[in-house]
Chains A and B, each alone.
Chain A
Amino acid sequence: MASLISCPHCGARPKEEFTIKGAVLPRPDAGAGSEAWMDYVYRRDNPRGAYREYWHHTSGCRRWLVVTRDTASHEVAACQDAALAKRAEAQP
């Protein structure tokens, strides 16, 4: 596990300050079938390599982040504020 996470608001912080929610996945429509929701809620690929996850900086700025890390080498490739990244996507 990567032990230092570069929070875009706080700088490099130890992983103990964060809570990991899990993979960043597109949320299905409310009316999508039970199979789509089963996938979204339970099924994970557990890849070796690059992985995008939601991390919460619980003991710091309390913002949700999207951390892109490598599950094999532990390197962190990127760390963005989840809400700001979403807003930037919505207004290209």
Chain B
Amino acid sequence: MSEFAIVHRSALAPAPRVASHRIAIIALPEGHVVQVFERAPGADLLAVLADAAGTAPHAVRTAGPGQWFIVGDEPLPRDTFLDLANALGPHAATVDQSHGRVRIRVEGTVVERMLAKGTAIDLDIGAFPVGHSAATLLGHVSVHLTRLDATAFEIMVLRGFASSLWEGLERMSAEFG
């Protein structure tokens, strides 16, 4: 772990937003993203994680076997991150990825049709309910998708791909403008 805090600059500054009456693309605040890896395979950590993550809805996202993300809109001060890391310490390893991943919210009545241009997974609410997460490809970019609402998804992407993905989302949404 580094001995100094990282100076944070926004990847999609200043808070861009593209919207029509059917689709909106919104850059979420670059708060915190903590990646969590279980220590022993097979242990059910969801209750422990939910406890550590606080009360915000959909703060804990599954990311494959034994891996999760804890996300939120508020920046995580170093002391708070260390408290979280210590609380989860016996069960899981934690890595602060707040600087490394960017979250984009897409919402609107045609959001599934827009996302279906980039990903092959079934986005129907029956197969992909509210709170469900999946790591997948959107075009050629690896992303982590979460359904926040019947008509809203969150896309988490590696920071270096954020502006490229943003342009892709704009193009995918153009016909709905």
Mask, A1-32, CB within 8 Å of B = 1, is 00000000111011011000000000000000
Inter-subunit contact A9/B137 (CB<8 Å): no
A-B contact number at CB 8 A: 35
Residues of A within 8 A of B11 (CB): none
Q: Are B135 and A61 in contact (CB under 8 A)?
A: yes
Complex contact A61–B64 (CB within 8 A)? yes
Contact B136 A17 (CB under 8 A): yes
Residue in B63, B67, B121 with the greatest tally of chain A CB atoms within 10 Å:
B121
From residue A6, how far is it (CB to closest CB) to chain B in Å? 13
Give chain B nearest CB distance to A41 CB in angstroms.
Answer: 30
Q: Report how far A9 CA is from B64 CA in the complex, Å.
A: 7
**Those of B61-76 within 8 Å (CB) of chain A:** 63-65, 67
Interface residues contributed by chain A, number (CB under 8 Å): 14
Whether A81 lies near B65 (C-beta < 8 A) is yes
Q: Is the interface of B mostly helix, strand, loop or mixed?
A: strand
- Does A52 sit at the interface, judged by CB under 8 A? no
Contact between B64 and A60 (Cβ–Cβ < 8 Å)? Answer: yes
Q: Indicate if A74 sits at the interface (CB-CB under 8 A).
A: no
**Given known A-B contacts A62-B64, A63-B64, A81-B65, A10 and B137 have beta carbons under 8 A apart:** no
B120: Cβ under 8 A from any A Cβ = yes
Note all chain B residues with C-beta closer than 8 A to A10.
Answer: 64, 134-136
Chain B residues within 8 Å of A9, by CB:
64-65
- Shortest Cβ distance from A83 into B: residue: B41
Instruction: List 4 other contacts, CB 8 Å, given A10-B134, A63-B65.
Output: A10-B64, A13-B120, A59-B142, A81-B65
8 Å CB interface, B53-99 against A: 63-65, 67
A59-B64 in contact (CB<8A) = no
